[in-house]
Structure 1
């Protein structure tokens, strides 16, 4: 078929998927699956081959990412039940002090704390964050707000074990160890620079306490009829007049009890299994780059085994800390929250597989001959536009990567760079269609005007910086 026809079909179907999600409030999993089927049929793949390709694509991605997402869900659920995050924030404040806490907290949220869902993280850390903000001066609420917004959103899509980063790695076919190292190289400077620049702007007068922060806390999460998102930025259908509050600012009995139960246990012990797992994965990735084969490390450094060990050891610590019954309840809750992530990841693989069967690669390759940066810029822009329209960081990143990933090798483009560029683009313009926006606005005591500065502007700045860091990484990778 003519190249222009294939390109038109893919563009039209993606646009239809966006309209279906935003206007018709159709679940994104269903919309993406129908879109993948439509592309297959309309580009001449045929009914039977379309179905088999979708199934194969779903299975291949879940084979790579399914268990890893499951292990992350379990670890995050158990850490939350033990009250580990609350204690960590308190410890960071004691160690790094007033000036250093935004950077220490931001880098922690963006890296090793990514096993815990964003919504849960905001809720359990918000009371402590507001106390920290009061010690940072008149712009404290803005500084803490942008710290949370940037670190949580950047970590989701670019840093293993963030579930969207794991999903992206599966969609584009990047080894998880490689995604961990590449993501770390981009995430750390992105988070640090974003917090530094926004803090400077706020202290120079861009933050107005009288207009940008609330005098009193509100517990409801307003939405004004806008499309909200569920756990981790996944769209959620909300036709009801107003949702019940997701959580309350006061710590739950479970969280308070967990903190009390674990007070006598070293904080490092609670996080040690996950940290050791990440170190094993990173070490094996380095050995692979150096082409050094160490059989025990090839086994223990495999992401599936490393994170499985972390699950087992975290479970042992959690059972000793809070008891078997509470651990089991936390695990069930974690799987409930993560269910849609599993399916969305697999359907993203289906979309990528169907597109890979067509001649879109030849079309795009001919369009991107001018500069090696062009494909990365297109991935970034595609993810940014999708996010502005849909309001889901995860969905927009997976969709953009899924479109470009099948043709990346024909253009000589490293799949890691595709994943990072898609993640960076998906961060652009987090606004009122995002549940994270309203959670940060409400629980950190910001007005909507303040949240537009910390969340929308702050994360958009991080999106541009992350793109720049990805382009720098492309030079390093040659």
Structure 2
């Protein structure tokens, strides 16, 4: 019954938002209340999970969102994002920009938290979208979404990779090359397929795009930004984004190399890294656009982040209710790996287990870890390589990032999309990427 109630809760949230046009925060709370009470979490337990889930998510990403959004607002005001976009377009051309962003997200930045990637990448995508005309925003949103999660589940040292490899007793060295190839190909192929989908009447800006008033005010202020030859140079303009990424990557790779101490942990902390970026953006804005306009940019950033924080936190509440309902344990009972299964069936089963877990739980990493823990104990008995099974689990855990994921709501707010638009970009591209990568894993098993 827990599985049924979870499905009803997810449908309820989607239906309220899309068809009845109920605000996402209200819809998410109603879905959380239904699931908690219907699945037996109890009256007190339901409220405890809702508030606890909100607080837990805020503890993890609250400062990241706040700092990141304000960095974006300041860089918009100084015209820094315009310079970055000009540099990207000059380097790869406007038509190749989505592929460049998908490729970079999937291969260069997997060590960075997905939350940080979207916080820092979304403003660049929104600034570049007009260069790609009518479908620029959805195409770049899809490229960012598939790039982030392809790297997260396939490319070392993405968190899901570490979790799966550890549970499956697979060395990161044996995973490295295959995961990198599949991750990059998945990001690029999915971006290509999604671009073809957008050539139809699939995207409707009037219903699929929904930038907040604060975001629109921030972007309108770009018209007052310094001219290209009056503002900061490209190197300085990109520093508030590049420096935090380097700090976080330093900490991640040091940990991967087995080097750990308080200083490294301090430098590599994502909250500190983004604060350093915020401080740099603030000082740069004070110098180039003055105190008054800097204050206006800060106000715009605070308004935008407040809206995003609320909906992200309530998204975390729904995730907490799903966890409290015992969904993971129930799904674990439904599946078992058959040691005598042929290679094809073993791979598809591993993919399917992870995909169902992700749709139900809403967390890529939790779905990957749970699926690996279900299949891991018998992986050595299968006729398929544990690495291939691990890649299949990664592929399945990528399937359909949707309303029960707090990342979904971050993505919606930061990209300026409606709920329907986010389903048509993030949910669609992660579903496409999951199926595409499954085919690549099957090909890899045949070549191995």
Aligning the two structures, in what range does the TM-score lie when normalised by the shorter sequence?
Answer: 0.5 to 0.7
Partner of 1:7: 3
TM-score by length of 2: 0.65
User: Aligned residue pairs: how many?
Assistant: 381
1:299 aligns with 2:234: no
- 3-state secondary structure, aligned to 1:323: helix
* Contact residue 83 and residue 262 of structure 1 kept, 8 A: no
Q: Which residue of 1 aligns with 2:280?
A: 313
Shift of 1:399: 4.1
2:72 to 51, 76, 93: 76
Verify the 8 A CA contact 2:150 2:398 in the aligned structure 1.
Answer: yes
What SS is found at the alignment partner of 1:54? helix
Q: Is 1:344 equivalent to 2:344 in the alignment?
A: no
Which residue of structure 2 aligns with residue 411 of structure 1? Answer: 374
**How far has the Cα of 1:18 moved from its partner?**
2.3
Q: Contact 1:109–1:152 at 8 Å: present in 2 too?
A: yes
Q: How far did 1:461 drift?
A: 4.8
CA distance in 1, matches of 2:8, 2:146: 29
Task: Give the structure 1 partner of residue 127 of structure 2.
Answer: 124
- 1:356 is displaced (CA, Å) by 2.3
Query: How far apart in 1 are the matches of 2:263 and 2:314?
Result: 34
Counterpart mapping for 1:23-42 below 5 A: 23-42=19-38
Distance between the aligned counterparts of 2:220 and 2:209, measured in 1? 26
Q: Deviations over 1:339-379 (max 9, x none)?
A: 33212322232222222233333320122323576465456
Q: Which runs of 5+ in 1 are unaligned?
A: 131-140, 161-167, 173-180, 213-219, 237-243, 387-397, 428-433, 440-452, 474-478
**Conserved in 2, the CA contact under 8 Å of 1:382 and 1:425?**
no
* Distance in structure 2 (CA, Å) of the matches to 1:471 and 1:259: 52
Indicate whether 1:426 and 2:401 are aligned: yes
More helix by share: 2
RMSD: 5.2
Aligned-residue offset at 1:312: 0.8
Q: 1:364 corresponds to which residue?
A: 331
State the shift of 1:296 in Å: 1.6
Aligned residue for 2:119? 115
Q: Kindly provide the CA deviation profile for residues 20-54 of structure 1, in whole angstroms up to 9, marking residues without a partner as x.
A: 22222212222222222222222222211221122
The reply on whether 1:332 has 2:299 as its aligned counterpart is yes
Q: Does 1:20 align with 2:16?
A: yes
What whole-Å deviation, never above 9, does each CA across 1:122-142 have from its counterpart, x for those lacking one? 663345445xxxxxxxxxx98
Matched, 1:280 2:254: no
> For residues 279 and 472 of structure 1, what CA distance do their matches in structure 2 show?
35
Structure 1 residues 383 and 407: alpha-carbon distance in aligned structure 2, compared to 1, 3 A threshold = closer
What's the offset of the Cα at 1:465? 3.7
Check conservation: 2:139, 2:194, Cα contact below 8 A: no
Judging changes above 3 Å, is the alpha-carbon distance between structure 1 residues 52 and 290 closer, same or farther for their aligned structure 2 residues?
same
2:142 to 143, 146, 150: 150
Give distance in 2, aligned partners of 1:437 and 1:314: 20
Q: Which runs of no fewer than 5 residues in structure 2 stay unpaired? A: 110-115, 153-158, 164-175, 338-345, 377-388, 403-411, 418-423
Deviations 1:223-247 (A, max 9, x none): 4xxxx4534xxxx9xxxxxxx9x97
> 2:395 & 2:25 partners in 1: Cα distance?
22
Q: Indicate how the Cα distance of structure 1 residues 403 and 326 shifts in structure 2: closer, same or farther if over 3 A, else same.
A: same
Distance of aligned partners of 1:419 and 1:321 in 2 relative to their CA distance in 1, 3 Å threshold: farther
Moved more, 78-87 or 145-154: 145-154
Q: Which residue of 1 aligns with 2:52?
A: 56
* Shift in Å, 1:72: 1.2
